[in-house]
């Protein structure tokens, strides 16, 4: 009995499982092609989720930069510090997402060839 990735939720399941115990996806009535199509859809959804997240992270970074450089620092004395914290948080978040996405692409390459 080998462990494979569920095509829907990517969690580890038994290769003999008729359905996924995590997301309840039913494999019994699906052909190999249908399973692959589902896996592709799940992959695209994951990628889209990551893209959305990195877009939000970029927005967070930009608003931090704006607060730092353009905020009314005399009225809001906390703004430069808040801008720094928010900007760094957004940048770290964005960069770690990009690294994660590149790592995912590298990982999924052999699967596409084979
Ligand atoms: Zn699943």
pLDDT digits (tens, 9 = 90+) for 4-16: 888 788 889 988 8
31 inside domain: no
Alpha carbon distance, N-terminus to C-terminus of the chain: 21
List the shell of residues around ion ligand 1, using CB closer than 5 Å. 6, 8-9, 20, 22-23, 25
- Within-domain flag for 23: no
Q: What is the mean pLDDT of the chain?
A: 86
- What's the number of CA atoms in the CB half-sphere (13 Å) around residue 5? 12
Q: Is residue 75 part of a domain?
A: yes
Tell whether 101 is covered by a domain: yes
Residue 114 banded pLDDT, cuts 50, 70, 90: very low
CA of 54 to the centre of ligand 1 (A): 25
Say if 3 falls within a structural domain.
no
Ligand 1 mean position, distance from CA 1 (Å): 17
Burial 55-85 (b: 16+ CB within 10 A, else e): eebeebbeebbebbeebeeeeeeebeebbee
Q: State how many domains the chain has.
A: 1
Mean pLDDT of the 68-84 span = 89
Q: How far is CA 29 from CA 2, 25, 39, 40, 67, in A?
A: 20, 11, 15, 18, 55
CA of 19 to the centre of ligand 1 (A): 8
Task: Give distance in angstroms: CA of 3 to centre of ligand 1.
Answer: 12
Kindly state whether residue 7 falls inside one of the protein's structural domains. Answer: no
Which residues neighbour 65 within 8 Å (Cβ) at sequence distance 6 or greater?
Answer: 83, 87
Where is mean pLDDT largest: 33-42, 83-92, 94-103?
A: 83-92
The 3-state DSSP class for residue 58 equals helix
| Token pair in block for residue 65 | 């930069």
Give the range of the structural domain holding residue 51, as residue numbers without chain letter: 46-108
Q: Using one digit for the tens of pLDDT, what is the confidence trace for 36-64?
A: 888 888 888 888 999 999 999 999 999 99
Let me know if residue 38 belongs to a domain: no
Pick the closest to residue 62 from 98, 86, 78, 95 (CA basis).
86
């Amino acid at each position: 009995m080998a462990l494979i990735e569920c095509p829907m939720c990517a969690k580890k399941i038994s290769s003999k499982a008729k359905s996924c115990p995590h997301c309840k996806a039913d494999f019994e009535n699906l052909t190999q092609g249908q399973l692959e199509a589902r896996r592709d859809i799940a992959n695209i959804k994951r990628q889209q989720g990551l893209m959305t997240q990195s877009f939000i992270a970029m927005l967070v970074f930009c608003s931090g930069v704006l607060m730092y450089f353009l905020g009314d620092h005399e009225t809001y004395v906390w703004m430069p510090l808040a801008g720094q914290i928010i900007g760094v948080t957004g940048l770290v978040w964005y960069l770690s997402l990009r690294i994660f996405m590149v790592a995912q692409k590298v990982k999924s390459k052999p699967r596409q060839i084979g």
